[in-house]
Amino acid sequence: QVAALTTAAVAQGLKTHQVVALTTDAAAALSSAQAAALSTANLAALETADLAALKTAAIRALSSSQVGALTTDQVVALSTTQVAALVSSQA
């Protein structure tokens, strides 16, 4: 269901409580464009396991303001590969 959402629907339609309700599998299904369309509040509301489930390409697509919204716990939950993608995309 999440994969079927358009990028515009993610950007305009998802409320924070809906993002919080995503399962880890649903979060993992987010495409790079969908992840990039999440508001900073929505991204910060993702549970650490859900954020860690994002594909490396989705992590790479995050903007600097989205990265700035991540909590310490969320960053700690990322894999080494995800952190490397995050660092390379922000350089």
**Residue 2 placed within a domain:** no
Total structural domains within the chain: 1
- Confirm whether 29 is domain-assigned: yes
Mean pLDDT for 47-76 is 93
For residues 30 and 7, the answer to whether their CB atoms sit within 8 Å is: no
pLDDT of 3 strictly over 70: no
> What is the share, in percent, of the chain residues with pLDDT greater than 70?
89
Domain of residue 79 covers: 7-90
How far apart (Å, rounded) are the C-alpha atoms in residues 84 and 43? Answer: 19
35 falls within a domain:
yes
CB 10 within 8 A of CB 37: yes
Query: Average per-residue pLDDT in the chain?
Result: 87
